[in-house]
Amino acid sequence: MEVKLPRFMKLSLKYHLVAGLFIRMLLIAYGDYHDDYYDVPYTDVDYKVFTDAARHVVHGDSPYKRHTYRYSPIIAYMLTPNIFFHKNFGKILFSIFDILVTVAVKKLVEQQLSLTWKDKNKASKVALYCSFFWIYNPMSIGISTRGNADSVTSFFVILSLMFLQTNIVLGLWKYVWSGILLGISIHLRLYPLAFSYPMYLSLGKFKITHRTRLAEGFLCLLPNIKQILLSMSCILTLIFLTYGMYAIYGYEFLFETYIYHLFRKDTRHNFSVLFYYSYLNMDNPAVDVVKLIAHVCEFSILFALSLTFGREAQTLPFALFCQAVVLVAFNSVMTSQYFIWFMSLLPLVIHSFAMESRKGLLLGVVWAMAQTAWLIFAYLLEFKCIEVFVFIWLKSVILFCAHIFVLSKIIQSYVPFHGFGLIKKEN
């Protein structure tokens, strides 16, 4: 039985791309008004940091002359038109990357389903519905229009996965291009490094299971030509970009872009469950036992998810999604833009959640309410100067539990290529 949907959902992708871009342009224009008349700014503080760094680049200086610039110089290069063209150029650019992510999601999901379902028309519709979860997602819209650059990294991650799992490029070159794009994403943000292992496993000829012995497991990890091409192209791209930036900006680039994040302690606007612990230990050595234990737990879960869902090409996107949730939940620093790490991968797998829509909505409400409760107390601290550190920490614990609870329910409902239940599997 055909599900009745609003007429606008049946329009072709290009209409939704235009609508999505129009919504973003309106919010960018509104942001200027909001910043002028409200205490809490619409524009993210990171966007001001990007713009200041771009200004230094235009003047021939290092972007790291801007205090708190902790990103690759590439971001500052991309936003140089902010200085000589228009201050909102970067926001528009990030919104365009949102559109590109939507196109990539549609293409990748459609390709995945077309290999499994005989009804190509319905497979195309399901892929279109999946793209809605990004282009009309309030989180993705807000993050990009406020001036955060995580949509850029998300685009390269999804594009890497698309080259790996589609026939946009034929032959062994697809693995080379996938590795290059993955290397670019890792250079921009370190978190996609975790995705490299399940992507490597998915190309293996021999599959590791829970019954595989240790010796056999190591033999299974021996690379084939596909894995070698993916790995080497990723590593060489990362070396090329990193050494190139190092040659220009020296150790300052390495420290600010990478090393700093290993010992980072943020005591303001940090959703992390380790927020209050970091606040109480600001003057202690950067490396401590508590964070070490947290990272060991995190890496163990990431490894288990790789072995569980990363061994097969059809479940690889779900492995990356689950890993992204874990990376965010266990991170010692967590801000709103970090949610984009898994939000951008959600459209690739959401069609495989075999659950009632109201249950899915309820899970979304649980996660959103946990985040909202935290934001209320953060507002009291940052804008009203009320000491509510303990309450913020308690809300951080609740948000951590919400992440784990929602992820566990999603894993329980995961059925590869379920297709929202609109498509019945052909025998």
φ, ψ at 414 (rounded to 5°): -70, 120
What are the CB-based long-range contacts (under 8 Å, 24+) for 364-367? 366/402, 366/405, 366/406, 367/402, 367/403, 367/406
Rounded CA separation 25/21 (Å) = 6
Q: What are 325-353's pLDDT values in tens digits? A: 999 999 888 888 899 999 999 999 999 99
Q: Is 122 exposed, middle or buried (0-12, 13-18, 19+ CB in 10 A)?
A: middle
In this structure, are residues 51 and 70 in contact, taking their beta carbons and an 8 Å threshold? no
Task: Calculate the alpha carbon distances from 272 to 147, 173, 331, 397, 425 in Å.
Answer: 22, 40, 6, 8, 41
Q: What is the pLDDT of residue 409?
A: 95
Q: 368-391 as b/e, with b when 16 or more CB fall inside 10 Å?
A: eebbebbeebbeebeeeeeebeeb
d(CA 288, CA 263): 10
Which residues, 6 or more positions from 159, have their beta carbon under 8 angstroms from its beta carbon?
A: 104, 181
The span from the CA of 347 to the CA of 102, in Å, is 9
Contact in structure between 265 and 282 (CB atoms under 8 Å)? yes
User: How much is the pLDDT for 1?
Assistant: 36
What pTM was estimated for this model as a whole? 0.91
Domain residue spans of the chain = 149-262, 272-427
Nearest 5°: phi and psi at 353? -90, 110
Where the chain has pLDDT below 50, the residues are: 1-3, 426-427
**CB distance 180 to 233 below 8 Å:** yes
DSSP of 346-370? HHHHGGGB-S-HHHHHHHHHHHHHH
Predicted pLDDT of residue 220? 66
The confidence score (pLDDT) of residue 427 equals 40
| Positive or negative: CA dihedral 19, 24, 28, 33 | positive
User: What 3-state DSSP class applies to 13?
Assistant: helix
State pLDDT tens for residues 15-29.
999 999 999 999 999
